[in-house]
Amino acid sequence: MDLIDDPEQAGNAPEFTVSEISGAVKRSIEGEFGFVRVKGEVGRVSRPRSGHVYLDLKDDRAVLSGIIWKGRAEGLLTQPEEGMEVVATGKLTTFPGQSKYQMIIEDIAPAGVGALMAMLDKRKKALEAEGLFAAERKSALPYLPDVIGVITSPSGAVIRDILHRLRDRFPRKVLVWPVAVQGQQCAPDVARAIAGFNAMTVGGSLPRPDLLIVARGGGSIEDLWGFNEEIVVRAVAASGIPLISAVGHETDTTLIDYVSDKRAPTPTAAAELAVPVRMELLAWVGDQEARLTRALTGGIAARGQRLRDLNRALPKPDMLVEQARQRLDYWDEKLDVALRGVVQKRGLRLTQVTGSLRPALLAARLDRAREQAGAQGARLAPALGRVVRERLREFTRLAPRLRADGVTQMMTQRAEALDNWTGRLARAGTAQEHGRRTRLDALDRLRETLGYRETLKRGYAVVRGDGDVVTGVKAATQASTIEIEFADGRYDLSGKTPKPIKAKKDAPPDQGNLF
């Protein structure tokens, strides 16, 4: 385009000299951008001998030259290095000599980490204060979800990792909601996806998932920044479906991790949190079944054993009655005693009762008995008479048969025998008497010869005291009467006191007996 060739463009427009226009631009820029903060990556850095620092700030589309004057450069906490993300503070100016504009940098600090983190920290605290991260807000993950909603980029490793791991563990229905996982669209996409899944109906043509996974692979803090946005955090907090966050690597923490029900360090780990291992569960179920059967059969067997044990432990029937028997014995003994007591009591009662028995009662009965006896006695005499008459009749019947002839004859014979025997007795007696007389005479003669009377004839005497023969002085003095028998009679010395004389002069009366 050639301005000079265009006659209409000439006219009233003032003409600037180069210096004038350069000066005007300089004033304009310095007025407008007297104080700016510029974030960018540090490009080429040069440090000439002057001590000033020349550097480029750049992003993917533009470059801005910058100068740190010597005095400022020495006082910087962070020295700029190529590739470093920084936030530079200063002012814009121009360098008319080279038609350049540039930034005079007063201060320079690392961008991202510090600045972003400061901002993130502030946001986190605000949301935390609202209670969005509270543990009690978190819901438990379903043990075995039927449908899993995955919010991530439909292409790339992340979704493949998740699907692979799900297939390994427990194949499930998966709905993938495609979203931008970085850049401006990331946060609104993710927030819309979370709300969209929650809006679905259970069992509808698009079945509502019972578990959500929000996943993204590793990246810089800026890449992950969308998951720090408040809109995402609020969408997760509002979700009625339990949600697992798996954003970045394990060391990257975004705000969605605080608000999610469960944070997985990687997308693969999210799949592991989402479903159990099917084979393990099958094994577990089989194990449970075996335990179930074993427990039942074992229980029955144990009961059988217990029954047998109890049966063995049952006491013998003898033992069961033993105690009863002992009691019986005890009471048996007691019964004896009790019986005696009862008898005694009854005995006592009896004596009390018999005490009232009167002789009159007995007498009355005796009278009755006597009357009976009298009646019987009256009948006795006639009965006796009857018997006597009977005997008499018998006797008179027998009496005529009694004859005297036999008796008389027998008496005659006996009388003759008696006479006979009497005669013989007389004769024998006479003969015997005669013999005895003869012998008696002889003996009497002998007696006369030998008797004391014959001795008396010869001058001896017999002394008698009180009729008895006295043979000594002592007897003689005691006798009241003394008699002396001589051959021709007795001489009584009564009343005369005989003079005791020597006994040897007296001869005992029977002294002369020579037998």
Q: Which helix (H) or strand (E) holds 175?
A: strand 173-178
Range in contact with another protein (rule: CB under 8 A) among 36-44, 296-304, 379-387, 435-443: 296-304
Q: Are 215 and 158 in contact (CB under 8 A)?
A: yes
Q: What is the CB neighbour count within 10 angstroms for residue 170?
A: 18
Range in contact with another protein (rule: CB under 8 A) among 120-128, 274-282, 393-401, 442-450: 274-282
CA-CA distance, 426 to 354, in Å (whole number)?
A: 83
282 binds another protein (CB under 8 A): yes
277 binds another protein (CB under 8 A): no
Stretch 197-236 residues interacting with another protein (CB under 8 A): 206
Structure tokens at 20: 């004038």
Number of residues that bind another protein (CB under 8 A): 41
Structure tokens at 209: 């998932």
The torsion angles phi and psi of 55, rounded to 5 degrees, stand at -150, 165
52 binds another protein (CB under 8 A): no
In the complex with another protein, which residue's Cβ is closer, 282 or 339? 282
Tokens 């021709």 label which residue?
488
| In the complex, minimum distance from the CB of residue 143 to another protein, in angstroms, rounded to a whole number | 4
Range in contact with another protein (rule: CB under 8 A) among 82-90, 187-195, 350-358, 387-395: 187-195
In the complex with another protein, which residue's Cβ is closer, 42 or 190? 190
Range in contact with another protein (rule: CB under 8 A) among 59-67, 250-258, 294-302, 427-435: 294-302
Range in contact with another protein (rule: CB under 8 A) among 43-51, 118-126, 289-297, 361-369: 289-297
Q: Is 367 left (phi over 0), alpha (psi -120 to 50) or beta?
A: alpha
Please tell me whether residue 327 adopts helix, strand or coil conformation. helix
| In the complex, minimum distance from the CB of residue 88 to another protein, in angstroms, rounded to a whole number | 37
483 binds another protein (CB under 8 A): no
Range in contact with another protein (rule: CB under 8 A) among 13-21, 188-196, 482-490, 496-504: 188-196
CA-CA distance, 502 to 473, in Å (whole number)?
A: 8
Structure tokens at 161: 């990792």
Q: Are 209 and 241 in contact (CB under 8 A)?
A: yes
Among 126, 296, 343, 369, binds another protein (CB under 8 A): 296
CA-CA distance, 498 to 440, in Å (whole number)?
A: 41
Reported in sequence order, the residue ranges of 8-126 that DSSP labels E, i.e. its strands, are 36-46, 53-58, 63-68, 85-95, 100-110
| In the complex, minimum distance from the CB of residue 232 to another protein, in angstroms, rounded to a whole number | 14
Fill in the per-residue mask, 153 to 182: x = in contact with another protein (CB under 8 A), - = not in contact. -x----xx--xx-xx--xxxxxxxxx----
Rounded to the nearest 5 percent, the helix, strand and coil shares of the chain are: 55, 15, 30
308 binds another protein (CB under 8 A): no
| In the complex, minimum distance from the CB of residue 173 to another protein, in angstroms, rounded to a whole number | 5
144 binds another protein (CB under 8 A): yes
289 binds another protein (CB under 8 A): yes
| In the complex, minimum distance from the CB of residue 286 to another protein, in angstroms, rounded to a whole number | 9
Q: Which of 205, 145, 156, 207 has its CA nearest to residue 180?
A: 156
CA-CA distance, 389 to 396, in Å (whole number)?
A: 10
Strand pairing class (489-492; 36-46) = unpaired
**Residues forming the site for another protein (CB under 8 A):** 142-144, 154, 159-160, 163-164, 166-167, 170-178, 188-189, 192, 196, 206, 278, 281-282, 284-285, 288-289, 291-293, 295-296, 298-300, 302-303
